[in-house]
A and B are shown apart, each in its own frame.
Chain A
Amino acid sequence: MRAFQTYERRRRSAGAAFVAPALAVLALILAYPILDSIWLALQRVTLKAGQVERTWVGAENFHRLFNDETALRAIFNTAYFSIAEVVLVVGIGLGVALLLNNAMGRSGFFRVVLVIPWAIAPVANAVLWKWILNANYGVLNGVLTSLGLIEHNQVWLGTPTMALNVLLLVDVWKSIPFVALLMLAGLQQVPKVLYRAAYMDGAGSFQTFVHITLPSIKTAIAIAVVLQTIWSLRVFDLIFVLTRGGPADATVLLNFLAYRVTFNFLDLGYGAAIANLVFAATFILAIIYIWLLKPRRRVAAS
């Protein structure tokens, strides 16, 4: 019996051996920390002489979270930042994808242009913009002044509302390429015949866009919206380098707040509670994303 194993059975047992190491590693560095993070959020955690002391406090950290003015502002800021970023990135990304799907945009050069902002490290990107946004010598002030759009130099990161919006702009700049690539992948799955048929039926380019292009890529758009929301929730490096949350906590997003509470204030339990909030939001979005992928699979299979 042992010596002879059929093809199907051999593959199944080999398959188990093939995934086991990866799953073990993921359990160790992902599953365990996620579970412990939830556990930590229900405890008061203090560091004494390098030793971690945990006391069970139940929902206290979460109770505190919803009464903490900084945290509530962070929630509001995060919501504003994510929604604005998704609208801008997906809107502009779709535009870029349409341009690149055009015969004139097919050249490989444009893909290089897309891939560069994506590959730049978020930290290097932040440092670059620190210089561009410099209040005295920054090139943004220079360009806008010479175009006559502003009268005198702006302190871009100086006022609360302006700082958050400028951070938004910088992150939008970095995020567009990948979303454009996602949309382009969606656009290239639209059968060419549809466009030809629409042309034969006398549809103009706007009508073609509304009746052919948009319906064909609405799943791609939905996927881009969900993924971009997830990515917006992760923004950290930019805030760390450009504002450290200031001025007046105007650029403190939830992710950054969790970091600050945990690693600067060493309040690990409360930090974990905030982190759990980010995790829960991401988790729900991830489930939506997977749900969006499913019907496409069924279509592709048939």
Chain B
Amino acid sequence: MSFAARRTGLATRLGVLLGLGVFLVWSLAPVVWLVLSSFLTQRALIAQPPDLAPASFTLQNFVAVMQSAASLGHGMLNSFIVASFSTALALALGAPAAYALARLSLPRANVISFMILATQMLPGIAIAIPLFIVITRLGLIDNVWTLGLVYLSFNLPIVIWILRGFFLGIPQGLERAAAVDGAGPVRTFRYIILPISIPPLAAAAVFAFIEAWNEFFFALILTRKSAETVPLVVAQFAGQYQTVFGQMMAAALISVAPVILLAIIFKDQIVRGFADGMMKG
């Protein structure tokens, strides 16, 4: 009996280890190859098998990318402006809205919340054509601020949804204590709710920033040269220099490095804020 139990235990354990190993290779191999490729010479990359000798490693790809694609730096700057602007606005508008929907006994708060959640899932194409027409007519095409505003269409719902989930869990006593202490709803929000919500605010901000940084579709139709964001630059670069593999990878790596760092630093907040939030009403 105990022998059998131990044997299944061992088999399960080996199975789990094997599974975790496969999962690691599957998830990381492409990423590792992205990083490796960006540091290898073209000669080393096209060799069969690729030449991974120390002599093949170089920083030349990065240097070349920065020179041949001056627009990469420009794109990074635009992406930073668009993502920061959109994130800041989404937090400024979304945090009070989420608080009101979660706590301030608004009529139909749940219906409104679910409608907001549903809009977050819309494909960009559902709103792109009218937006394109209006923005063109207003002469606001190819403008980072316009793009940042359009990004609110997905960032504002995300922020509201993540924060609403957290606000729902705040004990009622805190708000009531604040009311008895003389704080109205605005000061309660300012002095009590916001300071205790810093972790979910950070999660929402990181999430919104990453989504905005990575967005491609709206950037493609609403910008030209001056407001182009980093995904556009990378896509163009990959189209133009598609045989210079090392440089293509270097460009891709540079473009994703900032958000990957953010994601790794804030991984627990992202997991808690979003994955859990999508499971709870």
Query: Do A and B touch, yes or no (CB under 8 Å, in the complex)?
Result: yes
In B141-184, which residues have CB < 8 Å from any A CB? 149-150, 152-153, 156-157, 160, 176, 179, 184
B124 within 8 A of A: yes
Assembly CA distance A149 to B279 (angstroms):
40
Task: Say yes or no: A104-B279 contact (C-beta < 8 A), given A119-B263, A123-B214.
Answer: no
Q: Chain A residues with Cβ under 8 A from B2's Cβ?
A: none
Contact B157 A26 (CB under 8 A): yes
Residues of B with C-beta under 8 A to A227: 121, 278
Which residue of A124, A127, A146 has the most chain B CB atoms within 10 A of its CB atom? A124
* Residue in B122, B128, B220 whose CB lies within 8 Å of A282: B122
Show 15 A/B contacts (Cβ-Cβ < 8 Å), sorted by A. A12-B104, A19-B101, A19-B106, A26-B119, A30-B119, A34-B127, A52-B137, A99-B16, A120-B256, A124-B252, A128-B30, A131-B249, A142-B48, A263-B132, A278-B123
B128 touches A275 (CB 8 A): yes
Binding site for B on A (CB under 8 A): 7-8, 10-12, 14-16, 18-19, 21-23, 25-26, 29-30, 32-34, 36-37, 40, 50, 52, 95-96, 99, 102, 104-105, 108, 110-124, 126-132, 134, 136-137, 139, 142, 146, 173, 176-178, 181-182, 184-186, 189, 204-205, 220, 223, 227, 230, 233-234, 236-237, 240-241, 255, 258-259, 262-263, 268, 271-272, 274-276, 278-279, 282-283, 285-287, 289-290, 293-294, 296-297, 300
A-B contact count (CB 8 A): 307
Chain B, interface SS category:
helix
> Could you give, for residues 1-44 of chain B, a 1 whenever the CB lies within 8 Å of some chain A CB and a 0 otherwise?
00000001000110011011001101110110110010000000
* Contact indicator B264/A112 (Cβ below 8 Å): yes
Separation of A177 and B31 alpha carbons in the complex (Å): 14
Determine the chain A residues whose CB is within 8 A of the CB of B263 once the complex forms: 115-116, 118-119
**C-alpha gap A296/B276 in the complex (Å):** 13
Q: B45, A116: Cβ atoms under 8 Å?
A: no
Q: CB distance B264 to A290 under 8 Å?
A: no
Tell whether, in the assembled complex, residue B185 and residue A124 are in contact, meaning their CB atoms are under 8 Å apart: no
**Chain A residue with the shortest CB-CB distance to B179:** A7
Decide: A279 and B281 in contact? CB cutoff 8 A: no
B242 within 8 A of A: yes
